[in-house]
Amino acid sequence: MTGLRWSAALLVFLYHVSVVEYFGGPAASRVNWAFGAGDVGVSFFFVLSGFVLSWSTPPTTRAVQFWRRRFARIYPLHLMTALLALTLTFTLTPGTKPSLGQLAANLTLTQAWFPNGSFYQSVNPVSWSLSCEACFYFLFPLMINLLRRLGGRGNSIVVAGCVVLEFLMPKLAGHLVPAHSLNFVLYYFPLERPPEFLLGMALARW
């Protein structure tokens, strides 16, 4: 699992190297060709997160206990990187300083709930995924209790349903969501991502 996590992290890192156009000329074309789809590593992280948490969380763990452990594991590092990002912003790129609202959204891990790039990309842009993770963690105690009651066959049906849903959601969104909002809804919005997390959970239970 650790090895897979490393591979996915490398793909995401190289994807960002491509996005910020670190290379130019022929090298840029090669990097984009090789890693332009590296953002799927985020989906893999969400699936893996659901799998690992379902596999490792004892049935006796209470919801508050689970949330406290997740907070202790995730938030201090988020806060530290946010402070570092703010330091760089105020010293190197003062024109990109976040507003108080954007800062508050980032620090409360609610930034990805706002359909505005200045919010979900605020402070430390890549931390938008933690906003989705916070949503998953909030739902986890309820979802794991339901999956534990389903048994092997029930969880296999959930796995199949999540896979089908992942293929259907872009098509449904294309009909229901304005074109200018599709990128936000299909990639950043926390309520679009739970099927990936649930897929990992159901795979672990299966």
Domain boundaries in the chain? 39-205
Which amino acid does the sequence have at 66? Answer: F
- Asked whether the beta carbons of 1 and 48 are under 8 A apart, the reply is yes
Name the residue with tokens 């907070």.
71
Most confident of 18-22, 52-56, 95-99: 52-56
What pLDDT band is residue 3 in, cutting at 50, 70 and 90?
confident
pLDDT at 92: 81
Averaged over 85-109, what is the pLDDT?
Answer: 88
pLDDT at 89: 86
**pTM for the whole structure:** 0.86
Q: Quote the Cα angle for 197-203-205, to 5°.
A: 105
142 against 6, higher pLDDT? 142
Most confident of 9-13, 93-97, 151-155: 151-155
Dist. CA 112–CA 131, nearest whole Å: 6
Averaged over 186-194, what is the pLDDT?
Answer: 92
Say if residue 34's pLDDT is above 90: no
Averaged over 126-149, what is the pLDDT?
Answer: 94
pLDDT at 33: 72
pLDDT at 52: 93
- The DSSP code for 2 is H
Say if residue 180's pLDDT is above 90: no
- Mean pLDDT over the full length of the chain: 89
**H/E run at residue 114:** none
Say if residue 29's pLDDT is above 90: no
pLDDT at 7: 80
pLDDT at 133: 95
Say if residue 125's pLDDT is above 80: yes
pLDDT at 195: 94
pLDDT at 77: 95
SS3 20: coil
Q: Quote the Cα angle for 41-182-198, to 5°.
A: 45
Dist. CA 173–CA 165, nearest whole Å: 12
Dihedral over Cα of 126, 128, 134, 136: its sign: negative
Total residues found in the chain within this entry: 206
Radius of gyration of the chain (CA): 18
